[in-house]
């Protein structure tokens, strides 16, 4: 997601440090308590926060943590979230590459990957959030039977991801190559998703469960 630099973004994120966690590793093992929930969801690459805000409202009994590395975009997501601040959500405005330093083993129930950057060049595959290296990190922090829920418009990324997960200790438990052909009130539409839906492009979705 390319966006012009917003001079207010970084100061805004720092200012709101009761919502934007500056040092997520200090919350390691404490997220359940902090979010007052037994069920923890983590969205990596929250973008402008539509999914994060919508889902934390839809599932108020669950805890929601949004992660976004681009501070310009993260600031928009945080602004949106603070307009209707919910006690069941927190935000991390940092690259998820260090995610294992922020969560204990078996601390997370769900990881959501929505319209992750496809990184089409073969030399950049390792940057994909569904690359084996990331999957190994997710495996550690997810509970037994914890799930990764992935949505994308990108066929190549979807195929790549199915293969990456097939070679790990995850089982494919659900998938669709046209998720929005049916109404899914249980799942919030992301910013990218709404653009692809307007273009009548199919949305691919898969759920992988840790075994
Ligand atoms: C294509 S956008 C999709 C945004 C949103 N999820 C949606 O569906 O509309 C992908 C987002 O993931 C973020 N992202 C990519 N890699 C990341 C990482 N390693 N850690 C945190 N955020 C990441 C990017 O900065 C970008 O905002």
Q: What would the pLDDT profile of 165-188 be if each residue is shown by its tens digit?
A: 998 999 999 999 999 999 999 999
- Residue 8 lies inside a defined structural domain of this protein: no
pTM: 0.97
To test ligand 1's pocket by mutation, which of 9, 43, 47, 190 has the most ligand atoms within 8 angstroms of CB?
47
CA of 32 to the centre of ligand 1 (A): 24
- Residue 64 lies inside a defined structural domain of this protein: yes
- Residue 122 lies inside a defined structural domain of this protein: yes
Taking residues 144-156, what's their average pLDDT? 98
Q: What's the rounded Cα separation, in Å, for the pair 44 and 92?
A: 9
Residue 124 pLDDT more than 80? yes
Q: What's the rounded Cα separation, in Å, for the pair 118 and 154?
A: 7
Q: What's the rounded Cα separation, in Å, for the pair 185 and 196?
A: 18
- Residue 177 lies inside a defined structural domain of this protein: yes
Q: Does 117 qualify as catalytic in the annotation?
A: yes
Range of the domain at 60: 30-210
Segments in 59-190 forming alpha helices (H): 71-83, 132-141, 155-166
- Residue 1 lies inside a defined structural domain of this protein: no
Atom of ligand 1 nearest to the CA of 151: 8
- Residue 2 lies inside a defined structural domain of this protein: no
- Residue 22 lies inside a defined structural domain of this protein: no
Atom of ligand 1 nearest to the CA of 43: 6
Q: What's the rounded Cα separation, in Å, for the pair 197 and 153?
A: 9
Between the CA atoms of 4, 82, 43 and 141, what dihedral angle is there, to the nearest 10 degrees? 120
Residue 72 pLDDT more than 70? yes
Q: Write down the catalytic residue from 98, 117, 156, 178.
A: 117
CA of 154 to the centre of ligand 1 (A): 14
Q: How many domains does the chain have?
A: 1
Residue 73 pLDDT more than 70? yes
| pLDDT tens sequence across 6-41 | 999 999 999 999 999 999 999 999 999 999 999 999
Pair 114, 124: CB distance under 8 Å: no
For residue 108, what is the domain's CATH number?
3.40.50.150
Q: Is the CB of 44 under 6 A from ligand 1?
A: yes
């Amino acid at each position: 997601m390319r966006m012009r630099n917003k001079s207010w973004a970084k100061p805004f994120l720092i200012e709101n440090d009761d919502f934007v966690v500056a040092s997520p590793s200090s919350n390691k093992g404490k997220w359940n308590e902090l979010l007052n929930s037994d069920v923890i969801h983590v969205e990596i690459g929250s973008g402008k926060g539509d999914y994060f805000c919508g889902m934390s409202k839809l599932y108020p009994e669950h805890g929601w943590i949004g992660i976004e590395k681009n501070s310009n975009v993260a600031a928009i997501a945080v602004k949106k979230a603070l307009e209707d601040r919910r006690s069941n959500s927190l935000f991390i405005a940092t690259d998820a590459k260090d995610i294992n330093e922020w969560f204990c083993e078996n601390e997370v129930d769900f990881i959501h990957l929505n319209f992750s950057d496809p990184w089409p060049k073969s030399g950049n595959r390792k940057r994909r959030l569904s690359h084996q290296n990331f999957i190994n990190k997710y495996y550690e922090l997810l509970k037994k039977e914890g799930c990764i829920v992935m949505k994308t418009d990108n066929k190549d990324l979807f195929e790549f991801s199915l293969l990456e997960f097939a070679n790990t200790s995850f089982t494919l438990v659900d998938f669709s190559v046209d998720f929005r052909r049916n109404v899914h009130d249980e799942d919030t539409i992301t910013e990218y998703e709404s653009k692809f839906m307007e273009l009548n492009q199919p949305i691919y979705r898969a759920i992988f469960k840790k075994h």
